[in-house]
Amino acid sequence: MRRRDFMGLTAAGVAGAVAPAWQQRSAAESHGHGTDPDLVVLNATVYTVDPGVRRAQAFAVKNGRFIAVGSTAQIRALAGRSTQRFDARGMTVVPGFIDCHLHPEGTTLLYEVLVGNPYEVEFVTIDSIVEKLRAKAAQTPAGSWVEGFFFDDTKVKDKRLINVHDLDRVSTEHPVAVHHRGGHTSFYNGKALALAGITRDTADRPGGTFDRDGAGDLTGRVTDRARDVFDTVGGRPVYTAAQTAEREQRGLAHISKQFVRYGLTSVHHEGGDLSMLQDARARGELLHRVSYEPDDAVLEAMITGGIHTGFGDEWVRLGATAEHTVDGSFSERTMAMSQPYPGRVPPYRGNITTTQDNLNAWIQRVHRAGIQVNCHANGDVAIDMFLTAVERAQRLFPRADARPKITHCTLINDDLVRRIKALGAVPALFTTYAYYNPDKFVLYGAELMKRCMAFRTLLDAGVPAAAGCDFSPGPFAPLMGIQGMVTRTGWDGTTWGANQRISVDEAIRVSTLNGAWASREEALKGSIVAGKLADFVVLSDDPHTVAAGKIKDIRVVRTVVGGSVAYQG
């Protein structure tokens, strides 16, 4: 039933609502050719992601929307004197890519010390990290933090974890932290540990650990909630409101350019400053569309002000909530599992970062307010807690088609899949990890990896799994994600969970239309269909015909949002 509704909407639901009449009329007046398309794309291999007409050669765009899709001859016949013509010369066109879980940390990219490569697989040395942070320390007052970002523990040539002794080489006067790109673990020097009063005798905290070596000494690695102790110690830069605004502005403009460079036309933003986002749009610096996922003050304002998910327009719209975290990290091996991590002594089952009671209360409140709930749940234990809370909220306050969102939804089993399906939940799975993180999967082992990032299982169950790269933890290149879904083979040539492979067509759908469904915008975007927003990507090669291991190397030739070129390669 749900599936049929979905298809019906995408095929025909919006065909009659192309644009308000005044807009068409004013466009006609300005062009003097009222019925001419603004743009036609001809001689392309178009994968529409429309189950009705899966392939086409050409399409026409007017007022930012597709108005016709068909053969080159049919579409050429529509073109008028004022129509722009784009001859794709056989290149491939797909709908604009949609990523449903991403932290748009443009300011980190622009202003912070990056100790790893945000975009690609690249190995670094511990010495290079120490050097970069020393340079930063030289410009930082003693007692203030020196921090490095985008560390990846399995992209280190030294083949070991960075530790407190390495970071003591940076400085003994400054607190020093290296943050894992995954966002759940950090590494500290002796000064930082001392400022926070952490010694080898300090007990772990609920939801986090101070890691120790075989002799019981602190290694400097601190996980999840235990890192809270560092929030209130050490000096941090203080910016004026104007400086903060400028940093945010530049950060947003920067990351928007990166998104369209890789073919992303819609991104679900985890929080961030909503007014900055609107300013960026007003200045013409927002090149991609945003499903804004609120937390804290904005979420409270929605609840108290009676604002539901969906408020906004086709550029900036209020989406599900920001991820409410239930457990730890997949890539950093702290997610909450029902079985212990292979080989860990003493047995370790990961971190749960909330209680069932607190989760029940949060979900009930948000769900009742007409807002799409969204929780970060990686391990099977956390997914079970999330589903339990949503099932309870639905029993108490039934709401049709609520589409509760599960960010990550990494480790599943048959019972969880049945419950996900029954609730109509929308999971956003890691995408680029399959290529980027094979060096971590060995720590879970072959058996568990058969049930992780389970695209095949979820799609077969009729669950519209979507893409959620989770940048900064994962690179955001959609083509790297698609290659990973299709091959399950990593940069190192190892394959994990081959049973979860999906086809190229399915991977494109996951990365486009399923993302639109997750933000309740399937009538508006996600496929190349007359009436929908003209968001599309021109690719140098066809992912269906290149070797599967080369999909990530396909070039994005052009990214078009609302009929306008946002990126040209």
Binding region for Zn ion (CB under 5 A): 470
- Least separation in angstroms between CB 468 and Zn ion: 8
Q: Are 382 and 335 in contact (CB under 8 A)?
A: yes
Of 147 and 470, CB closest to Zn ion: 470
Minimum Å gap between C-beta 473 and Zn ion is 7
- Nearer of residues 36 and 470 to Zn ion, judged by Cβ: 470
- DSSP assignments along 249-286, one per residue: HHHHHHHHHHHHHTTEEEEEEES--HHHHHHHHHTT--
Name residues whose C-beta falls within 8 Å of residue 280's C-beta, 6 or more positions apart in sequence.
249, 252, 253, 256, 286
Whether residue 186 contacts residue 179, with contact meaning beta carbons closer than 8 Å, is answered with yes
CA dihedral 358, 360, 361, 365 (to 10 degrees): 140
Which two three-digit tokens encode residue 20?
């308000």
Work out whether the CA dihedral 464, 532, 560, 556 comes out positive or negative.
Answer: positive
CB-nearer residue toward Zn ion: 99 or 147: 99
For 246-270, letters b (16+ CB in 10 Å) and e give: ebbbbbbbbbbebbbbbbbbbbbbb
Alpha helix segments (H runs only) across 77-184 = 106-111, 126-138, 164-168
Give the Cβ contact number of residue 465 at 10 Å. 28
For residue 375, the minimal CB distance to Zn ion (Å) is: 11
Which is nearer to Zn ion, 470 or 506 (by Cβ)? 470
The residue among 327 and 470 lying less far from Zn ion, judged by its C-beta, is: 470
| Residue in the shown chain whose Cβ atom is closest to Zn ion | 470
Rounded least distance, CB 408 to Zn ion, Å? 8
Nearest distance from C-beta of residue 291 to Zn ion, angstroms:
14
Q: How far is the CB of 269 from Zn ion (least distance, A)?
A: 11
Closer to Zn ion by CB, 94 or 100: give it. Answer: 100
| Closest CB 459 distance from Zn ion, rounded Å | 22
Write the DSSP symbol of residue 207: T
**Minimal distance in Å, beta carbon 407 to Zn ion?**
6
Residue among 64 and 104 whose Cβ is closer to Zn ion: 104
Q: Report the residue number, 225 or 281, with the smaller CB distance to Zn ion.
A: 225
Q: Are 254 and 110 in contact (CB under 8 A)?
A: yes
How far apart CA 46 and CA 37 sit, in angstroms, is: 18
Structural contact between residues 329 and 184, judged by C-beta atoms closer than 8 angstroms: yes
Give the nearer residue to Zn ion in terms of CB position, either 332 or 470: 470
Strand partners of residue 538: 93, 558
Q: Which residues contact 72 (CB under 8 A, 6 or more apart)?
A: 42, 43, 57, 58
State which residue, 380 or 470, has the beta carbon closest to Zn ion.
470
Report, in Å, the least distance between residue 440 CB and Zn ion: 16
Residue among 427, 422, 423, 391 nearest 409 (CA): 427
- Residue 120 CB, shortest distance to Zn ion, in Å, is 20
Contact partners, residue 490, CB within 8 Å, separation at least 6: 434, 435, 436, 437, 438, 439, 441, 484, 496
